[in-house]
Amino acid sequence: MDVDKQIREAVRNGSQESIEEVRFTKEMELRIRGAIAQNKHKNRNRIFMAGSLAACLAVTAVVMHQQGWFPQMPSGKNVASAVATTATDKKNTETKQNSVKVSAEEAILPLKKAIPALSRMTIRVDSTSQGISDVILMEGNHARASVAYDIQTGQIESFMINGEKPDPENWDEKSVKLPSAKTAESAANAFLQSFLGEESKSYQHLATETYVNEFWEESIWQSVSYQRMENGTPVPFDILSVRINTKEQVAFFGRLNKNEQALLTKLTDAMPDLNPSLLLFEKGRNRDGITLTVGKVNQEGHQASLQIVGNGQALESYSVEEKDKKKEPSWKQAEGAKALEQERQFLKKLLGDDSENYRLEDESKPGVYQRYHNGVPVLSDEIRLTTDESGLLRYFRMEPITFDASQYPDVSTAVSEKVAIKELSEHMKLRYVQMLDASTGEKVEKGKPVLEYTPAVSFMQKGRGDGTEWHIDATSGKISYGTGNNGLAYDQLNTKKAHAIQSSHEYVKVRSKAEAKALLQAEFGIEVDDSTYRENKIDRNGRKEYVWNDKNDKYIGVEVIAETGSVVGLGTPRSNTAVTVKREQAEEAALAFLDKYVDPGVTEVQLAQVIQPGEANPVSSGEWEFRYFMSKGGIPVLDDDNPDPAYSVSVDPSTGKVTKFHNFRDTHELVELPASDSIVSKDEAVQEFLRVMPLKLVYLMKDVDRKPLRQPKLAYVPWSGEALANKTVTIDAVTGKIIAD
């Protein structure tokens, strides 16, 4: 099976709604990160937004067999110093720590001694950051285990044997036969004695508990926890755990290192639920550092999850959850003045004097605090927290990277608001939305087509922007755009040209395997008689596909609307790996191909995204790919209030011939759109925009690709009142009035 092919399609086509709750394996995570690292310095249109890439790739593990080839498209002072670290310090620390002193082979030797089966596995080092190296143990092409170790000391931070994911529909933890607590403890003790040697004698057994995590490779274990003792006294937070599976084998080992112990010790004043009497259930790597799950000794009811930046440098998030997630929470969230008082007390303990730099985002609501520097908001630097009625902190999250006061540019260096407004006016443009879902604001019929003014076609305008969709650089006075859903780059491309389309009066139809074969022969000259065949039904949107695998296990297919047989996708593999065809030639071929396969009645398209060719990899087919909006009278047309392209065409970079087409539209109807010859002027639209969303000078911590900046940046962004802050705001070009949803 061409797994890379399906991964690429899932990346491009997975909807945001479908990926938010995805869990994925360590091997998949490392593969994702490798792809991002290889591409992050290339043209941003070669791959899609790295922030959603990992989640999109994760979807593949769940849905690629279900959706087939064409899945559908749719993110105290001492304590404060422990919580926050500057971007510059982080970079310098990472560079210094990545000088390897202990090799992976040396670090893993004690594990091989304790678990002889590991000796037949090969070692693959996948990444090293913040002084921790991630290693995969392979059997042939299969990842069997993962290890994280400190490259300076060789200490193993965590180790996990990969198991089988259970079927959530049929899995029942009551039917799983775990070893007894006594058997698990015996197995864990034997492992530690072999693995740690004399050091194991300093650890005292704390507890053995059944631990369940339905999202992991296995779901249920006996978790055996230990506490380090010195002179009969527990060493704060020096804890470790060993998980024993149903086969009475070690499935996991994790321990807290010195940095993590020190950080948690500093946090105990602000978070009294953290104390030295803890059990360690999980420890694993995430994109910024470490994720920990800990629980209280002999206490039923809850456990705490923490995300720690780097190698114990800072706390990013903390949450207290019920151990039994099936039960209703036993606590009630604090509200009103009581919540505000508790939150302020907590922030003072955690951040010391720095807590005064955070203001409530909405003064009428507790829970979200925005950093300000000299009266100017610092976007992305915010704290979210929840306390219960007893005063216990239940949830906390903050931006782990902050800056020294000296790194903030002086506001006197910013261009005037007048200059910023002029730049906004020059980039205000028109856009049709065929079925805008507007339920508040002006009395607009729900689903009625709208012609609107917008500064960014690739995004729906919110009352307050975070600067990553678009902002006006306060130093240069020029507008900067981010990429929209799955890398949508219409605004970055500054597209103005509409391409005329001579669409057919009806769809190309395929109603059988024979007709699909005939179409593939006619379009691509492909004979599929010697290929394996299958049919897939994509129930979610009523589509069906006819798919063949060629001798190289590559996909060839036709996708149709099952009820009508209308062709909405077809494709074949590229011929070879050469890249010789220029963009102009490739785009000409793509546009010519659209005439036959766009929805009947479409007369124009506009380019919304270009993916450049190269070698195939997990996130790109390596072909030229062009994505288009529908268009009318030179104005882009969106189906609804979720900006997505309508069509894509891929072109073989070695032959200049089209290899793939896909129609992304959920509905294939065309509606009558408002006329554009009787609308308010651009200046009037800008005035209405600024009346509701005036430009505000802010500091940005992230660029339009959501990557951390080396130092804060001054910018102008729209800044509405609280009532519209999180609502979608539209300027109706016909009436000149605001529509807010």
Helices (H), 115-252: 181-196
> How many C-alpha atoms does 260 have within 13 Å on its Cβ side?
29
What tokens were used for 725? 């802050």
Of 209-218, 406-415, 717-726, minimum mean pLDDT range: 209-218
Per-residue pLDDT at 41: 35
> How many C-alpha atoms does 696 have within 13 Å on its Cβ side?
21
* 699-705 mean pLDDT: 92
Distance in angstroms (rounded) separating the CA atoms of residues 456 and 676 = 18
Is the distance from CB of 263 to CB of 137 less than 8 angstroms? no
- The more confidently predicted of residues 99 and 112 is 112
Is the distance from CB of 733 to CB of 453 less than 8 angstroms? yes
User: At 603, phi and psi to the nearest 5?
Assistant: -115, -15
Strands 393-398 and 314-322, bridge-based pairing: antiparallel
Residues facing residue 314 across a β-bridge = 309
In the structure, what pLDDT confidence band is assigned to residue 29 with cuts at 50, 70 and 90? Answer: very low
Is the distance from CB of 206 to CB of 297 less than 8 angstroms? yes
Most confident region among 395-404, 661-670, 710-719 by mean pLDDT: 710-719
pLDDT at 286 exceeding the cut of 50: yes
What tokens were used for 555? 């996909």
In the structure, what pLDDT confidence band is assigned to residue 220 with cuts at 50, 70 and 90? Answer: confident
Distance in angstroms (rounded) separating the CA atoms of residues 393 and 511 = 59
Per-residue pLDDT at 218: 56
Per-residue pLDDT at 87: 42
Per-residue pLDDT at 432: 95
* 638-656 mean pLDDT: 93
Of 173-187, 433-447, 560-574, 619-633, minimum mean pLDDT range: 433-447
Is the distance from CB of 267 to CB of 82 less than 8 angstroms? yes
pLDDT at 198 exceeding the cut of 70: yes
* Residue 75 burial class via C-beta count within 10 angstroms: exposed 0-12, middle 13-18, buried 19 and up: exposed
Of 34-48, 275-289, 334-348, 605-619, minimum mean pLDDT range: 34-48
* 423-448 mean pLDDT: 70
The candidate with the shortest Cα–Cα distance to 188, out of 232, 252, 278, is 252
In the structure, what pLDDT confidence band is assigned to residue 285 with cuts at 50, 70 and 90? Answer: confident
* Three-state DSSP string of 665-693: CCCCCCCCCCCCCCCCCHHHHHHHHHHHC
pLDDT at 39 exceeding the cut of 50: no
Per-residue pLDDT at 45: 40
The candidate with the shortest Cα–Cα distance to 411, out of 374, 382, 378, is 374
Of 253-262, 330-339, 463-472, 651-660, minimum mean pLDDT range: 330-339
Distance in angstroms (rounded) separating the CA atoms of residues 505 and 486 = 31
What tokens were used for 305? 């999850």
Radius of gyration of the chain (CA): 28
Distance in angstroms (rounded) separating the CA atoms of residues 39 and 57 = 15
Is the distance from CB of 429 to CB of 462 less than 8 angstroms? no
Most confident region among 4-18, 88-102, 252-266 by mean pLDDT: 252-266
User: At 192, phi and psi to the nearest 5?
Assistant: -65, -40
In the structure, what pLDDT confidence band is assigned to residue 155 with cuts at 50, 70 and 90? Answer: very high
pLDDT at 66 exceeding the cut of 70: no
Q: What is the pTM of this model?
A: 0.78
Distance in angstroms (rounded) separating the CA atoms of residues 357 and 80 = 12
Question: What percent of the chain has pLDDT above 90?
Answer: 57
In the structure, what pLDDT confidence band is assigned to residue 76 with cuts at 50, 70 and 90? Answer: very low
Is the distance from CB of 725 to CB of 365 less than 8 angstroms? no
Is the distance from CB of 278 to CB of 296 less than 8 angstroms? yes
In the predicted model, what is the mean pLDDT of the chain?
A: 82
